[in-house]
A = this chain, B = another copy of it.
Amino acid sequence: MPKDMTQTPAIFERRESEARSYCRSMPSTFATARGSELFDDSGNRWIDFLAGCSSLNYGHNDPDMKAALIDHIAADGIAHGLDFHTTAKADFLEAFESYILSPRGMDHRVMFTGPTGANAVEAAMKIARKVTGRTNIIAFTNGFHGVTAGALAATGNGYHRGGAGMALNGVTRMPFDGYFGDAADSADFLKAMLSDKSGGVDAPAAILLETVQGEGGLNVASPAWVQRIAKLARDHGALLIIDDIQAGCGRCGTFFSFEEMGVTPDIVTMAKSVSGFGLPMAMVLVRPDHDVFGPAEHNGTFRGNTHAFVTARVAIEKFWADGTFQAELGRKAELIRAGLTELADMVPGARLKGRGLMQGVDVGSGELAGAICSRAFENGLVIETSGNEDQVVKVLAPLTTPKATFAKGFDILLAAARDVLAAPTKIAAE
């Protein structure tokens, strides 16, 4: 990559915390973005296969959302509305009801939490505990639900857990679908533990899962497994919480990741792409029976990010009012699979992971995956790894990415892999 692309402005070294991260492996200073492309302050261009970790499912600066947002601001539309009724919120809720909830037969209420996924997860966990009067929540290996203390207890990642500096309580860890390979069904294990009066697992308030574990390495739960988990939750008086923060908003090919699985979660957490524009917004969908919080019992100053309501409404109306967009997603998923199959074929032992537009390749080591992504970045592609060893090269492109851009992106990715595989010693040297 050109020298000037990597020159980090001194202000970041001087004043930004060491906690910063993406900017370390991709040290450009970005300025603008359109669709699936990012530009730095020198006009260098990158194709974006990261999409704000699935927060930009509709691409950067979608023109319709952009226009609506500028209109709103220009007209002195409310920017910050606490949890007042606002016209922007009403319009979003109307659209969300009409095009998302009602067509799917979902009677859920919408709770606007503080605008982070972790906050939505915290609220969901609290609801489940309040509803059931129980403390224990079942979460899964390689699950990622955020890093605030309540959500972090449910997160599997040891590095993040270590950041707590204290014991994280209230969660029991269980093996995700496929954890035993073919040897056994992990749902059998959970069933045995919950049914065993001396199993030592306290009766759960909820079972919390992602249908595809984005940070955990694109591990996919099968519909049959999710159905079994849903039944176990029901049988044991627990709520089923599906964390659709990364896998939802079309990422898996349908609006919700679970909608073709034959289950109705008691609670759904959403964030990331729900605003459509990358603006902070999060929400909890909760069935009316479980909508037990009193006024402001879970609160937060930014729970009404009105700008996000404006763009979120446009996103729903533009992409989900009919089936056109969803139909495209299926085709794009195939395209991604084809590209990744090529990559997988290059690496002995590599495995395809994920589903929909949330796919990747487990290349066997974090070192290799990192080297590929790093090389790709030098050549104009933003792409990241995931998994417990960072061993999965993960494609999280905007859902709106044109075929041609996908093709270009995969060209860069495959070339990067070729380069890296041709010079394996370089990896070790790094």
B-contact bits for A144-178, CB 8 A (1 contact / 0 none): 10111111010111111111111111111101000
Q: With an 8 A cutoff between CB atoms, is A204 at the interface?
A: no
Query: Are A80's CB and B97's CB within 8 A?
Result: no
| Residue numbers in B under 8 Å from A115 (CB-CB) | 115-116, 280, 302
* Distance of A17 Cα from B110 Cα, bound (Å): 5
Query: Are B197's CB and A158's CB within 8 A?
Result: yes
Of the four ranges (under 10, 10 to 19, 20 to 34, 35 or more), the interface on chain A belongs to 35 or more
Contact of A118 among B50, B286, B300 (CB under 8 A): B300
Q: Is the interface of A mostly helix, strand, loop or mixed?
A: loop
26 contacts between A and B (CB under 8 A): A11-B94, A11-B97, A15-B93, A18-B109, A23-B84, A30-B86, A31-B86, A31-B87, A32-B78, A56-B80, A60-B79, A66-B73, A70-B73, A114-B114, A118-B300, A126-B164, A135-B166, A156-B198, A157-B200, A160-B297, A166-B167, A166-B170, A173-B201, A175-B193, A271-B302, A272-B301
The segment out of A179-187, A333-341, A401-409, A416-424 that lies at the interface is A179-187
Name the residue in A15, A86, A125, A167 with the highest tally of chain B Cβ atoms < 10 Å from its Cβ. A15
Closest 10 CB pairs of A and B: A80-B278, A129-B165, A149-B150, A156-B200, A17-B111, A21-B296, A198-B388, A21-B295, A114-B116, A19-B293
Q: With an 8 A cutoff between CB atoms, is A199 at the interface?
A: yes
Query: Are A16's CB and B109's CB within 8 A?
Result: yes
| Residue numbers in B under 8 Å from A73 (CB-CB) | 61, 66, 69-70, 73
B-contact bits for A94-128, CB 8 A (1 contact / 0 none): 10110001000000011110111111001001101
Q: With an 8 A cutoff between CB atoms, is A55 at the interface?
A: yes
Q: With an 8 A cutoff between CB atoms, is A143 at the interface?
A: yes
Query: Are A189's CB and B167's CB within 8 A?
Result: no
Q: With an 8 A cutoff between CB atoms, is A323 at the interface?
A: no
Contact of A8 among B24, B85, B119, B296 (CB under 8 A): B85
Query: Are B22's CB and A126's CB within 8 A?
Result: no
* Distance of A142 Cα from B200 Cα, bound (Å): 7
Contact of A55 among B133, B150, B180, B301 (CB under 8 A): B301
Contact of A52 among B80, B97, B166 (CB under 8 A): B80
| Residue numbers in B under 8 Å from A122 (CB-CB) | 147-149
- Given A15-B93, A97-B15, A167-B170 in contact, is the A141-B301 Cβ separation under 8 Å? no
Q: With an 8 A cutoff between CB atoms, is A378 at the interface?
A: no
| Residue numbers in B under 8 Å from A94 (CB-CB) | 11
